[in-house]
A and B are shown apart, each in its own frame.
Chain A
Amino acid sequence: MTEADRVAARGAAGAGPPSGTPHVEFIGVDKTYDGVTQVVRDLELTVYAGEFLTLLGPSGSGKTTCLMMLAGFEAPTAGQIRIAGQRVEDVPPRRRNIGMVFQNYALFPHMTVGGNLAFPLEVRRIDRSSAEERVRRALALVRLTGFEDRKPGELSGGQQQRVAIARALVFEPSLVLMDEPLGALDRRLREEMQYEIRRIQRALGVTVVYVTHDQQEAMAMSDRVAVFNRGRIQQVAPPEVLYEEPERGFVATFIGDNNLLHGRVVAARDDICTVDTGSGIVQAFLVAPRAVGDAVTLAIRPERVALAAEPGLYSNEFEAEVDDIAFLGDHLRVRVSVCGSSGFVVKIPNRVGHGGVLEDDRVRIGWTPLDCRALAPDEEDGGSP
């Protein structure tokens, strides 16, 4: 898949439902360990062949359980899982032919790097010479040529990570699962490995299902991201769509920063609605189907709010009091009180003449209706959308 193809695919995905050959399908999957707490609820998810799909969510949101069910280490309580169209509930993990990268790599410490990589080939009874060739190719792929005779304990964290990836790929699975593989690395190495994993995935064209709680990682690597919360998928979409068009309050705050205001719809016309927040009337873009009188949550990105704007530029304009200014290098983060919300954040790029705002000033802020999304309130997240 070339970069152009990928952009095209993303564009298509953003415009309508994603297309391609389904590789993995979760159909109505439930999972409970104790019969009371639903770890995963009514999961519907399709992963397309060659896709990099990330399961993103806070810890305990059910994303790892989904991965473990796909790998075969956990059985769904209800529903079906299909891989390449075949139901897999009765297929043991070792017969699923899925490459898996574990959180702590799970490299076998008593074997050399070469031994670790040869392990999946030996249990498949692949003859020695072609196994050696495959090990060499897999190590070259992760740029560790010549490391065959090292022990995992002699490698750095990043190198161990590469070995773990090579081991998950050496038996040429078409599906690779990764469970927070970069969690133990420092930030710089993590960014490098994000790029490496992406490069390898594109070079081989394998389908990757990736689990992380780091939204930046998810955004940087994925074709599509499935956002999990409390055992339920909140939204599945390419990163740009998640950021620009979140459908629920949880997604809006989990992906990037968002200011949330709460109110009730007083009027709705086409996509634009008028919301009474109790201390101000706001024009907003209606995402969820809401009727007049319904409660809504308004989400406004901090960088889409203009500060000290000329009067009359925006249909949403308010007087705000500056509580705090934080200098963050490339931008300033200004906390203001507005519409009864005291933690409202405005992000101003660090350019010459950013308005000369000082703490305790009273300023005018404004935003357009299209940058203000009216979503279903979070209280309803537990129920059906």
Chain B
Amino acid sequence: MTARNARKRVAPGLRAWFLVLPLAAFIGVTFVAPLGAMLTRSAHMPVVADALPETLRLLAGWDRGGVPGEAAFRALGHELVAARETRTLGQVASRVNRVEGGLRSVLTRTARQLRSAAPTPGVAVDGGAPAGSERTDSTQGPGGTPAAPWRDAMLAMDDAWGDASTWRAIQRAGERYTGRHYLHAVDLDEAPDGAIVAQPEDLRIYLPLLGRTLVVSLAVTALCLVLGYPVAYLIAQAPPARAPLLLLLVLVPFWTSLLVRTTSWIVLLQTQGVVNDLLVALGLIGEDGRLAMIYNMTGTMVAMTHVLLPFMVLPLYSVMRTVPPEYMRAATSLGAAFPAAFRRVYWPRTLPGVGAGCLLVFILAIGYYITPALVGGRTGQLISNMIAYHMQQSLNWGLAAALGGILLVSILLLYLLFDRLVGVERMRLG
């Protein structure tokens, strides 16, 4: 009896959880899993490690000083050929190339030549000989003994094989887990000796870009607040019959395609565009002094502010609607002029909306991609555009993932900071 009662009590809660299951599954598949995979990719690089296991095992016992022994040459030779067979050579080569430039062609060329002309003297030890026996062999190898046909062959194919740095590059690229992408994402690098050093001045691009993204996002947030607050106030103060119409004016751009809106800005702001034509016609600027307002930072800021404005107006409006008009009347009847009444009574009541709107706009702005891509030109690009570039053009997914991870962490940090300063529980979205 009691057990049945207990089950009856639990059942509604369980049923509610069942109803949430489809959404949970959807989010798991479309959000959590890709995000997790992407973040894993930023630190986990198994390609080289999987393709050259034997080489890397042998290199582990190498003193990193001179050229490794014959066994390493032979293992690498076999594994390069095998990688070429399984069509993973390209990935392996580009990984190694990323550690040290120029090695891509060395690897691919060597693999091609080895396949067509494998060193014949090594027939005796070719094939699936146990690795242990070769190890003893390789320790005797160095010193230019003729018992090193692979090394001789490969050195003949490319001088780079005689270079310790080539082997170090392979070793580095073979690390299964690495923080290198994160180092690169904050403009640091690992020197050959393992020390962490700053990138050369002219190669530091990500930190300045991240800084620029933060500054632009803050500026866009501030612009949205300055422009959106009076709009929200106007709608909140409007007579009930007119408020829906005003709200519609805010929402119509919101419902319009992002592409259409962004393209409209191009039409308006381009050098031969409407705004420039108007300024020239008014005589404010000369024909040759037309302003560059698009395909640069100005374009990015203008278009982003326009696109994100509704995200500021709506939370502000929904909070302002809950502020009773008596507050302002009371403040006025107590002798306060409008500025004082606004500053001391109305504004504090709308802070939850200000917080919500700012956080919403800022977080959307910091990861904004399409608008800067379309109207940002070369100088108006943000960090997301760089992430997209590494995803689509340079195919350095690890670095893209690391940049994305850093972006995510900075947003979380700012959110925590916001929580400490303003208090998230005081925030109201509507």
**Which residues of A are in contact with B by a Cβ distance under 8 Å?**
71-73, 92-100, 102-104, 106, 108-110, 119-120, 123-124, 167, 171
Contact = CB atoms under 8 A, between A and B. Distances in A.
B335 A102 contact: no
B30 interface: no
A106 B324 contact: yes
A94 B330 contact: no
Contacts of B331: 108, 119
Interface string B307-335: 00000000000000000101101111111
Contacts of B348: 110
A125 to B, nearest CB: 10
A73 B349 contact: no
Nearest to A177: B333
Interface in B325-352: 326-327, 329-337, 340, 344-345, 348-349
Chain B binding site: helix, strand, loop or mixed by DSSP? helix
B334 A167 contact: yes
B6 to A, nearest CB: 39
A106 B329 contact: yes
A134 B221 CA distance: 43
Given A106-B326, A106-B329, A106-B330, A119 B336 contact: yes
Given A104-B324, A110-B348, A110-B349, A123 B330 contact: no
Contacts of B327: 106, 108
A71 B333 contact: yes
Nearest to B328: A106
Contacts of B334: 94, 100, 119-120, 123, 167, 171
Nearest to B338: A94
12 contacts: A71-B329, A71-B333, A73-B332, A94-B334, A94-B337, A98-B333, A100-B329, A106-B326, A119-B331, A119-B336, A119-B344, A120-B334
Contacts of A98: 333
Contact of B337 (A72, A106, A123, A167): A123
A124 B335 CA distance: 7
Contact of B326 (A95, A96, A102, A167): A102
Contacts of B337: 94, 123
A98 B332 CA distance: 10
A73 B330 CA distance: 10
A110 B349 CA distance: 8
Contacts of A73: 329, 332
B345 A94 contact: no
Nearest to A92: B332
A384 B329 CA distance: 35
A123 B329 contact: no
Given A73-B329, A102-B330, A119-B331, A108 B345 contact: yes
Contacts of B333: 71-72, 93-94, 96, 98-100
Contacts of B335: 94-95, 97, 120, 123-124, 171
A120 B337 CA distance: 11
A96 to B, nearest CB: 8
Nearest to A110: B348
- The interface centre, meaning the residue of B332, B335, B336, B349 with most chain A CB atoms within 10 A of its CB, is B335
Given A103-B326, A106-B329, A110-B349, 20 more contacts: A71-B333, A72-B333, A93-B329, A93-B332, A93-B333, A94-B332, A94-B336, A95-B335, A97-B335, A98-B333, A100-B329, A102-B329, A102-B330, A106-B330, A109-B349, A119-B331, A120-B334, A123-B334, A123-B336, A123-B340
A190 to B, nearest CB: 20
A51 to B, nearest CB: 20
Closest 10 A/B residue pairs (Cβ): A106-B326, A120-B334, A106-B330, A100-B333, A123-B336, A110-B348, A93-B332, A123-B335, A102-B326, A94-B335
A179 to B, nearest CB: 9
Contacts of B340: 123
- The listed residue with most B CB atoms (<10 A of its CB), out of A73, A102, A108, is A108
B294 to A, nearest CB: 43
Contacts of A109: 349
A144 to B, nearest CB: 18
Nearest to A124: B335
Contacts of A106: 324, 326-327, 329-330
A104 B332 CA distance: 16
B335 to A, nearest CB: 5
A120 B332 CA distance: 9
Contacts of A96: 333
A109 B324 CA distance: 11
A104 B330 CA distance: 11
A193 B217 CA distance: 54
Nearest to A96: B333
A124 B330 CA distance: 15
B353 to A, nearest CB: 14
Nearest to A68: B329
Interface string B160-199: 0000000000000000000000000000000000000000
| Residue among A109, A110, A123 facing the most chain B CB atoms (10 A cut-off) | A123
A131 B375 CA distance: 57
Contacts of A104: 324, 326
B344 to A, nearest CB: 7
A103 B329 CA distance: 12
Nearest to B345: A108
A114 B344 CA distance: 14
A94 B331 CA distance: 8
B382 to A, nearest CB: 37
Nearest to B336: A123
Nearest to B337: A94
Nearest to B329: A73
A68 to B, nearest CB: 9
Nearest to A167: B334
A339 B208 CA distance: 97
A100 B329 CA distance: 9
A71 B334 CA distance: 11
Nearest to B346: A108
Interface hub of A100, A106, A110, A167 (most chain B Cβ within 10 A): A106
A195 B326 CA distance: 26
A327 B335 CA distance: 53
